[in-house]
Chain A
C-alpha cells in the first residue's frame, strides 16, 4: 500500500515537473512557470527521483531559451545527479541519461563567457545500438530524448543521424500504437535529422500527436522541445 502511494506520488511529481518545464518553454520564463521542485510540496527524495525520471530535460528551458536556471531548481538537480550515480550493471539508457544530466549541470553552472572546462565524465559508448532493429532503436532514442538538442554531439546523436528513415519508421509505429510519449520523443529527434523522407509529414504528425496525446505533460514537453528545435541555439 505504502509502495503504491509512493509510486503514485512520484508519478504525480513527474507530471507536475514536466508541466513546469512545458510552461517555461511556452512562456520563456521558468520563474513564473511553476515550482514543483522549490515549493516544498514534494519531499526531497521524491523531488530528486522525479528529476531523475525527467533527466536533463528538467533544465531544458535554460538550454533552449538561454535563460539562467532557477537556483533552487538547480540545487535539487545537482542533488539528483550526485545522489544516484548509475550502478555498474545499469542499462545503457540509465548510464546515458546520467551522462546527459551531468553535462546539462555543467553547462548550467558554467558562465557563458568562460571557456568550456574539460569534460570529467567519459562519454559512454553506443555499442548497444549497433545493428539495433528500427523498433528498438526508436524506443531507446525516445527514452533518451533529452539528448536530442541542436548541435549536440555524442555517440547517440551520431547513431540517430545515421538512421533517419528508421527513426521515422519508429515514429509511424509509435503513432499507430498510440504510444504518444514515444511518438513525441521520436518526433523531437526527427526535427534534428537530415534525410527524413518528406512523405512522413512530420509537422502535421507532431500536431496529431499533440491533438491525441498532448494532455500528458511528458508528451507536451517533447512537443515543445520539437517546436523550439529549429530556432534552438547551438550548444
Chain B
C-alpha cells in the first residue's frame, strides 16, 4: 500500500513538473475561457448560463486532454526508454505501476478542476450551489475514465512520435466534435447527429446537464461505459500480442 502511495505521489509530482501540462491543461483552458466570455462575447440569450456552460466545457477539455496525452505518452516513453523493463526486474508488479499512474493522474485532475473552477468562477462571478460545483467536478473527474482508457491504448503504441501525433489529433477532434469549443447548436446538422456517438460529447453533456439542474442522461453514461470497455479490451489485446514475441 505504501508503495502505491509513493508511486502515485511521485507520478503526480512529475505531471506538475511538466511544462507542457501546465501550459496545455491549465493555462490554455483558462485563457480560452476568459477570451470567449469577455473578449469575443457570443450573442446568446442567457449569458450567465453560457458562462457556466463554457466553464464546464473548458474543465472537461482540460481533463480529457491530460488523460489522453499525458498517460499515453508517458507509457510509450517509459517503455521505449527501457524503464518498464527495469521495473520488471524489481518486486513491483506491473499492475501497481499502472494503477499508480492512473491514481496519480486522477489526483492531478482534482487539482486541475479546482484551479479552473476557481479562476473561471472568479473571473465571471459565477454562482452555483455547493452541490452543483461538487457534482459537476465529480462528473468531470470520473467521466474521464474512458479517456484514461484511451490513453492506455495509445500507450501500447511503439513509437512516441506516432503516439504524440495520434493523441494530439484525437484530442482536438474529440474537443471540436464533442462541442467543447462551440455549443452543439451552432454546428452543422450532420455533426450534431454524429456527436451522439462520440464520447467527448456525452462527457461534456453530463456536466452541462448538471449546471442546468438536471441529471446526466442514462444513454450518455452507457456510451461512456461502452467506450471504456472497448478501449480496455483493445489495449489488453495489444499488450498480449506484444508480450507474446
Q: Do A and B come from one complex?
A: no
Chain A residues near B (Cβ < 8 Å): none
